[in-house]
Structure 1
Amino acid sequence: MPEARVIPLRRRGVEDAAPLRPATPALVRQPHGPAPNLREFLRHRLTGDYPVDEFGFDPEFTDTVLLPPMRAIFEKWFRVTVTGSLPAGTGAMVVANHSGTVPWDAAMTAVAVHDVHPEHRHLRMLGADLLFKVPVLADIARRSGQTLACRADAVRLLRSGEVVGVWPEGFKGIGKPFRDRYRLQRFGRGGFVATALRAEVPIIPCSIVGAEEIHPKIGELRPLARLLGLPYFPVTPLFPLLGPLGAIPLPTKWTIHFGEPVRTDLAGPGADQDQALVLDIADRVRDTIQTTLDRAVAARPGIF
């Protein structure tokens, strides 16, 4: 069986404390290039002539197999509008609200980052343990650039110039009841801020509107969740009543907004050990996301 080439992570010319390079203009999505060549993809699979990095990320697999269907859902089902911008020439940490019962928001944010970023970076998401315990799904997650939430690995990715995605609310956010929609849950103790401070990369507050309504959670079956080892087993108006059909997300209209970068590279050495600073930045990021959500929800003409 041919083996893929392993490519090491490298810094991409990031200069400490340098001004952020101009970002993609707001409201403008960049062209994502021609469709991947399926014949070349299959040839590379057979010969093993394709690169993966130390984390198992397979960019050719992601671009050829995963991104096209995800982009179709992005454009045709959720009809996502992207506003704001992402900085070029540096690693960055995208910090977003989490919702929707099923994490479609993470997948759609990955498409938005790739298509909006000036250098078409892939979003390297930090996932929970549960994700990497599920057969097949764990392998797909690795191949698409996700990795277990670990500070040391996150710092390596950020310092190499990657865009890392974090959802600090975790299961508390994605599994909250529908009555609590668009109310951010706790951000923990600010571990994502300490990671960004250590890597000296900007934090990008990301606000996602539309995901809250795709699977309105009105209850949960806790005994079944414990039996299956899940954080929750949701009950929605359509699931499990309609079986697999009830798992199809509602076609709500989404907006993903990338806010102004929060600089961390000027805080000085050892700043990641200053818990007061860490919590202050975490609160600022959370407040920014919540304020943006409130304004966007109030301004939208409707859910669909």
Structure 2
Amino acid sequence: MTVPDRPGDVWDQRVAAGLAFLRRRLAGEYEVDEFGFDPDLTEGVFLPVLRALYREWFRTEVSGVEHLPVDGAGLVVGNHSGTVALDAAVLTAILHDEHPRHRHLRLLSADLVFRLPFLSELTRKFGGTVACNPDAERLLGGGELVGVFPEGFKGVGKPYSQRYKLQRFGRGGFVSAAIRTGSPIVPVAIVGAEETYPMLANIAPLARMLGLPYFPVTPTFPWLGPLGLVPLPSKWLIEFCPPIPTTQFADHADDPLVVFNLADQVRETIQQALHRLLDRRPDPFGR
């Protein structure tokens, strides 16, 4: 019979892990890859924070993890929403924790992220890179799991009245990258992010002045100041859908019709999964 850890033992383990992390950082005993990804910092700092957020605050339920590649490349394509892109960070933490081999999801992020000094460095260390085909193909060619949100700011910055209605997927560059590398596409549907910061209005003139894609007005921001940045405790459901193979399209990566049709198949798969998950979650803030 296994004896459960006592509370004191758990805290001792956490303190020991924290001290070991500090020792590695001070001694420089960690590696950073060519994109700036720092697995040691990610697992020691970023993931524990996100883990508490998705488990305790959002009470997240996950299904379909068996559809993720056990090893080798894969392109994970999700819906984007919520005013602040928490869904991308949460998805990264969940995939790491739920995957049998605890793989890291390498996110493709918008150019704006890399124009902001502090956020740019943070994103690189968390495993992100610019959302462009060359970087996507290099990562997929290296056997990584890559995450992309084709709606971009159109999805994150849409009004609450348009919640869970997928926006246009752009030109389908993510499909071309998957075809060129022979990587399967795994659609993922995320329910819950729309309610974390419901956008009631967008102050467009202020957004233009600040060089932002939008300036949101939510039930708590800007009325509560910094407290308005605390996400509402919505109930999250995440479903990884069956993978869509791309190897049969190997000679058609530059064919606009093939790319468009495959992108539309991914989009429709995610939209249908969103409908299923919403039926399972009648109360956005229930248990």
TM-score, L = length of structure 1: 0.86
What is the match of residue 100 of structure 1?
82
**Are 1:61 and 2:46 counterparts?**
no
**1:30 maps to which residue?**
none
CA separation in 2, counterparts of 1:228 and 1:41? 38
In the alignment, does 2:213 pair up with 1:227?
Answer: no
Task: Give the structure 2 partner of residue 142 of structure 1.
Answer: 124
5+ long unaligned stretches in structure 1: 1-33
How far apart are the structure 1 equivalents of 2:172 and 2:73?
A: 19
Deviation per residue, 1:2-57 (Å, 9 max, x gap) = xxxxxxxxxxxxxxxxxxxxxxxxxxxxxxxx868222222222222211110010
Write out aligned runs for 1:46-125 (5 A). Answer: 46-85=26-65, 86-125=68-107
Q: What per-residue deviation string (whole Å, max 9, x for no partner) do you get for residues 137-163 of structure 1?
A: 111110010001121111111121111
| AA in 1 matched with 2:225 | G
Question: Counterpart in 2 of 1:271?
Answer: 252
Report how far residue 89 of structure 1 moved: 2.1
Letter in 1 for 2:281: R
Cross-structure match for 1:187: 169
Q: Does 1:44 align with 2:24?
A: yes
- Aligned-pair RMSD on alpha carbons? 1.3
Counterpart of 1:173?
A: 155
Q: State the distance in 2 between where 1:275 and 1:135 align.
A: 36
Unaligned runs of 5+ in 2: 1-12
Question: SS at 1:108's partner residue?
Answer: helix
2: distance between equivalents of 1:53 and 1:190?
27
Distance 1:286 1:136 in 2: 32
Measure, in 2, the Cα distance between the counterparts of 1:256 and 1:115: 13
Residue-by-residue CA offset, 1:63-111 (whole Å, 9 max, x unaligned): 0011001100010000110100212122111100000000111111001
One-letter amino acid of the counterpart of residue 149, structure 1: A
For residue 32 of structure 2, give the secondary structure of its aligned residue in structure 1.
strand
SS of the counterpart of 1:273?
coil
More helix by share: 2
Letter in 1 for 2:274: L
Separation in structure 2 between the aligned mates of residue 47 and residue 215 of structure 1, nearest angstrom: 40
Q: For residues 152-200 of structure 1, what are the alpha-carbon distances to aligned partners after superposition, in whole Å with 9 as ceiling and x for unaligned?
A: 1111111211110100000000000000000000001111100100111
> Structure 2: how far apart are the matches of 1:87 and 1:141?
24
Structure 2 CA distance for aligned equivalents of residues 274 and 117 of structure 1: 34
Which residue of 1 is the match for residue 190 of structure 2?
Answer: 208
Determine helix, strand or coil for the equivalent of 1:125: strand
Query: Which secondary structure does the structure 2 equivalent of 1:272 belong to?
Result: coil
The CA deviation at 1:267 is 2.3
Task: Please give the alpha-carbon distance, in whole angstroms, between the structure 1 residues aligned to 2:32 and 2:130.
Answer: 17
Deviation of the 1:126 alpha carbon = 0.4
Match of 1:299 among 273, 277, 280: 280
Q: Which residue of 2 aligns with 1:154?
A: 136
Paired with 1:252 and 1:275, the residues of 2 have a C-alpha distance of: 39
Residues in 2 aligned to 1:251 and 1:136: alpha-carbon distance in whole angstroms: 27
Contact 1:87 1:118 in 2 (8 A): no
Q: Work out the CA distance in 1 between the residues paired with 2:62 and 2:163.
A: 20
Please say which of residues 258-267 and 37-46 is displaced more in the overlay: 37-46
Amino acid in the other structure paired with 1:89: D
- Identify the residue that residue 29 of structure 1 maps to in structure 2: none
